[in-house]
């Protein structure tokens, strides 16, 4: 049985140490502290000091010192979990459901597994990133076209490197093959969101081959996970050959405000 560290700490702060100790010895206020005869050893002059603000007691005679839990444990012969219950009772604080050891271990294991998967997916994203960067440097006309486009947008080599801009070739499975070549696990590839599956789940393919040029790293220069790439980013590239001009020019009706029509 476990209580969270937070609860244990919070209860310690909420418990009135003076009220817990007073049944065992008379305490008198002295400055910020309270003084009394030590309940742990026999004495005539008070050398037992209680500091409610620090949540600590100390006897300058016998050296006994500690928190409200130590006091209750020592005085009533309780173990730590019993002391927590007793202090909660005195302080009138309801006890939370104790964390069951097994559940706690299970939850911990699950968290660790999840973290492992996340790390592996980040690694997959890294492979994808390198793949797209390599594609941008290739000699084929499409890659060349992409480099030209970057030039027209005024994106320098430094910026390209800093933002790790790459080129996703117009193919439904090139990234998938690259990931497989690196020995990536199929389930993990699907979980990564870098590829999609068709409806009857018989085929996997690269996701959004049209969204080619994008910033693929987050602020810490780690690859961004696929699900976080949804918004913002550069316009898909290249624009189909038969389309020119801005969207406002092509579809003026969509941008006309109602009062213009009057
Ligand atoms: Zn003492």
User: Could you tell me the domains of the chain?
Assistant: 5-91 (3.90.580.10), 106-241 (3.90.980.10)
Query: How much is the pLDDT for 226?
Result: 47
More confident residue, 229 or 186: 186
Query: How much is the pLDDT for 216?
Result: 52
pLDDT above 60: residue 191:
yes
Residues less than 5 Å from ion ligand 1, measured at CB: 38, 40-41, 59, 61-62
Distance 36 CA to ligand 1 centre (A): 10
Cα separation values, 214 from 13, 118, 165, 218, 249, Å: 51, 21, 6, 11, 25
- What is the overall mean pLDDT for the chain? 81
Distance 49 CA to ligand 1 centre (A): 10
How far is residue 35's CA from residue 33's CA, in Å, rounded to a whole number?
7
What number is the average pLDDT over the span 80-92? 93
Spell out the residues 6+ positions from residue 73 whose beta carbon is closer than 8 angstroms to its own.
79, 80, 82, 83
* Helix ranges, the chain (H): 5-14, 17-21, 68-76, 80-91, 101-137, 141-152, 157-162, 174-181, 186-192, 247-250, 252-255
Residues 49, 35 contacting (CB under 8 angstroms): yes
pLDDT band at 34; cut points 50, 70, 90: very high
To 5 degrees, how large is the angle CA 160–CA 222–CA 232? 65
What number is the average pLDDT over the span 58-62? 95
Distance 55 CA to ligand 1 centre (A): 17
How far is residue 19's CA from residue 33's CA, in Å, rounded to a whole number?
13
β-strand 65-66 against 56-59: which pairing, if any? antiparallel
pLDDT above 90: residue 70:
yes
pLDDT above 50: residue 211:
no
pLDDT above 80: residue 156:
yes
Distance 46 CA to ligand 1 centre (A): 9
**Torsion angle (degrees, nearest 10) of CA 140, 141, 144, 148:** -170
Residue 6 CA, chain-centre distance (Å), reads 19
Query: How much is the pLDDT for 262?
Result: 45
What number is the average pLDDT over the span 158-165? 86
Distance 67 CA to ligand 1 centre (A): 15
Question: Among all chains, which residue has been given the structure tokens 């947008």?
Answer: 153
pLDDT above 50: residue 13:
yes
Distance 85 CA to ligand 1 centre (A): 25
Distance 18 CA to ligand 1 centre (A): 16
Contacts of 114-120 with C-beta under 8 Å, sequence gap 24+, read 117/188, 117/191, 120/185, 120/188
pLDDT above 60: residue 146:
yes
Q: Of 92-101, 106-115, 210-219, give the range with the top mean pLDDT.
A: 106-115
Query: How much is the pLDDT for 132?
Result: 87
- Whether pTM exceeds 0.75: no
Nearest to 14 by CA among 64, 47, 62, 52: 52
pLDDT band at 233; cut points 50, 70, 90: very low
Residues 25, 37 contacting (CB under 8 angstroms): yes
């Amino acid at each position: 049985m476990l209580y969270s560290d937070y609860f244990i700490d919070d209860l310690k702060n909420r418990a009135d140490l003076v009220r817990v100790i007073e049944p065992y010895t008379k305490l008198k206020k002295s400055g910020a502290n309270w003084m009394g005869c030590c309940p742990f050893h026999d004495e005539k002059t008070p050398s037992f000091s209680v500091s409610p603000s620090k949540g600590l007691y100390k006897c300058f005679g016998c050296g006994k010192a500690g928190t409200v839990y130590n006091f209750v444990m020592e005085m009533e012969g309780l173990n730590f979990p019993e002391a927590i219950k007793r202090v909660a009772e005195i302080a009138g604080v309801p006890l939370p459901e104790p964390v069951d050891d097994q559940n706690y271990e299970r939850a911990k294991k699950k968290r660790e597994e999840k973290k492992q998967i996340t790390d592996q997916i980040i690694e997959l994203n890294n492979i994808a990133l390198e793949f797209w960067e390599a594609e941008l440097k290739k000699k084929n006309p499409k890659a060349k076209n992409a480099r030209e486009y970057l030039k027209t947008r005024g994106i320098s080599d430094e910026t390209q490197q800093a933002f790790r801009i790459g080129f996703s070739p117009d193919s439904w499975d090139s990234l998938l093959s690259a990931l497989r070549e690196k020995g990536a696990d199929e389930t993990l590839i699907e979980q990564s969101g870098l590829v999609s599956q068709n409806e009857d789940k018989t085929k996997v393919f690269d996701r959004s081959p049209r969204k080619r040029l994008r910033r693929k790293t987050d602020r810490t220069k780690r690859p961004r996970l696929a699900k976080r790439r949804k918004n913002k980013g550069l316009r898909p590239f290249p624009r189909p050959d038969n389309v020119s001009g801005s969207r406002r020019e092509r579809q003026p009706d969509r941008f006309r405000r109602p009062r213009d029509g009057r």
